[in-house]
């Protein structure tokens, strides 16, 4: 699809989003809080500011619990303790939404406690692509990773390649979906059709938490459109407070506006140096301005996100496909 046709398609889906995208959260961030979303479904907001922890979802089945995302090891232990407070049932499954350390590096903590980790097949493929280097680099700065004394992260014990993968019993159905490459090649979603609850991993965040290094920025809004077709009432993002479908529409609008603004600058013959100010090898400022409607997602990472978008557009490849560590 041409860039012009892609923009027209995205505009038809998200044209009205900028009017509503700013009105997102159901309250401020509440690190380490546990919120009941529906009967037997809880959202635990991780402490990203101080500990780098992701959010988790805890789902009660007839005889066991499912947890969405393994977190870092220290986060895994906190989630495990809270799960025990919520239900005496064991955690049988931990669904890994993607391969990043804050969502995956606690996997061995869970499997040591008897749980089975599982993910969409591309999560394991991404781990082969980037590990063990990322694990070893992280172990130099995170005590909870280093103290596991492992040479590499533990891959998911099970993977699936047909979407959706379903876990179902007499009390509840949980579907695990892959909608395409957005944040990573392996982005997984957990969907509870009866309760209309969607846990998204970092394919959507509620705030300025987007890491675009392994992303497909141009395709990201399409993934959000597919998720929106589920018509969720509750959206549980990878970082930031829970909310509704406005998290998905706002996430899509941010990526759409980022891609559009950088594309326009490229059409005006501007170079990356014109758009981004560097300090050494680190992007620290950008001349790109995005609309107020997406400011919930704009933060200190915008210069790097502009760099990634520029590289993706000029190379005509997803930025996550370009060489990087």
- According to DSSP, residue 1 is labeled -
pLDDT at 53 over 90: yes
CA distance 41 to 321: 36
Q: Which of 136, 91, 127, 132 is nearest to 111 (CA)?
A: 91
Instruction: Give residue limits of the domains in the chain.
Output: 29-254
Q: Which two tokens stand for residue 247?
A: 């998290």
Q: Can you give the pLDDT at residue 28?
A: 67
Q: Which of 231, 177, 187, 239 is nearest to 43 (CA)?
A: 239
- Identify the sign of the CA torsion 180, 178, 199, 148: negative
What's the mean pLDDT in 287-314?
Answer: 98
pLDDT at 19 over 80: no
Phi, psi of 72 (to 5 degrees): -70, 165
The domain defined by 29-254 folds into Metallo-beta-lactamase; Chain A (3.60.15)
Question: pLDDT class for 24, splitting at 50, 70, 90?
Answer: very low
What's the mean pLDDT in 90-94?
Answer: 98
198 forms beta bridges with: 191, 235
Alpha helices in 31-190 (DSSP H): 73-86, 101-104, 107-112, 121-130, 133-139, 143-146
pLDDT at 13 over 70: no
CA distance 134 to 187: 18
Q: What is the pLDDT of residues 116-153, one digit of tens each?
A: 999 999 999 999 999 999 999 999 999 999 999 999 99
- How distant is the alpha carbon of residue 232 from its chain centre? 17
CA distance 145 to 253: 35
pLDDT at 11 over 90: no
What's the mean pLDDT in 199-219?
Answer: 98
Q: What is the pLDDT of residues 54-72, one digit of tens each?
A: 999 999 999 999 999 999 9
Contact partners, residue 120, CB within 8 Å, separation at least 6: 159, 160, 161, 163, 165, 176, 178, 186, 187, 188
Question: pLDDT class for 14, splitting at 50, 70, 90?
Answer: very low
pLDDT at 25 over 80: no
What's the mean pLDDT in 259-280?
Answer: 98
Q: What is the pLDDT of residues 165-175, one digit of tens each?
A: 999 999 999 99
CA distance 32 to 255: 28
Q: Can you give the pLDDT at residue 235?
A: 98
What's the mean pLDDT in 159-180?
Answer: 98
Q: What is the pLDDT of residues 106-119, one digit of tens each?
A: 999 999 999 999 99
- Identify the sign of the CA torsion 208, 214, 217, 219: negative
Q: Are 221 and 14 in contact, with CB atoms under 8 Å apart?
A: yes
Looking up tokens 């280093």, which residue turns up? 146
What are the strands of the beta sheet with 197-201, ordered from one edge? 165-168, 173-177, 189-192, 197-201, 234-237
Q: Which of 292, 319, 287, 325 is nearest to 303 (CA)?
A: 287
CA distance 157 to 286: 42
Question: pLDDT class for 204, splitting at 50, 70, 90?
Answer: very high
Question: pLDDT class for 15, splitting at 50, 70, 90?
Answer: very low
Percent of the chain residues topping a pLDDT of 70:
91
What's the mean pLDDT in 22-42?
Answer: 77
Percent of the chain residues topping a pLDDT of 90:
91
Query: pLDDT: is 74 or 8 the higher one?
Result: 74
CA distance 155 to 177: 19
Class of residue 8 by CB neighbours under 10 A (exposed 0-12, middle 13-18, buried 19+): exposed
């Amino acid at each position: 699809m041409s860039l012009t046709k892609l923009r027209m398609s995205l505009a038809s889906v998200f044209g009205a989003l900028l009017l509503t995208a700013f009105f997102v959260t159901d309250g401020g961030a509440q690190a380490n809080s546990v919120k009941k979303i529906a009967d037997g479904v809880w959202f635990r907001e991780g402490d990203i500011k101080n500990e780098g922890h992701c959010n988790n979802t805890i789902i009660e089945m007839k005889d066991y619990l499912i947890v969405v995302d393994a977190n870092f090891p220290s986060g895994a232990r906190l989630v495990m303790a809270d799960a025990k407070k919520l239900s005496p049932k064991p955690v049988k499954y931990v669904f890994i939404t993607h391969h990043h350390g804050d969502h995956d590096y606690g996997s061995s903590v869970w499997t040591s406690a008897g749980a089975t980790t599982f993910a969409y097949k591309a999560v394991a493929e991404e781990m082969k692509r980037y590990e063990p280097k990322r694990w070893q680099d992280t172990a130099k700065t995170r005590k909870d990773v280093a103290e596991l004394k492992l040479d590499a992260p533990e891959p998911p014990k099970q993977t699936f390649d047909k979407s959706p993968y379903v876990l179902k019993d007499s009390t509840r159905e949980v579907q695990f979906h892959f909608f395409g490459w957005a944040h990573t090649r392996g982005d997984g979603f957990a969907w509870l059709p009866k309760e209309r609850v969607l846990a998204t991993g970092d394919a959507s965040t509620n705030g300025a938490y987007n890491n675009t290094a392994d992303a497909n920025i141009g395709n990201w809004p399409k993934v959000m459109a597919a998720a929106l077709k589920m018509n969720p009432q509750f959206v549980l993002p990878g970082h930031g407070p829970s909310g509704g479908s406005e998290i998905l529409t706002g996430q899509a609008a941010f990526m759409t506006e980022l891609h559009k603004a950088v594309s326009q600058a490229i059409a005006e013959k501007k170079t990356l140096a014109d758009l981004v100010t560097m300090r050494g090898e680190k992007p620290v400022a950008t001349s790109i301005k995005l609309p107020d409607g997406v400011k919930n997602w704009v933060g200190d990472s915008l210069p790097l996100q502009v760099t990634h978008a520029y590289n993706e557009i000029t190379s005509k490849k997803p930025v996550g496909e370009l060489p990087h560590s």
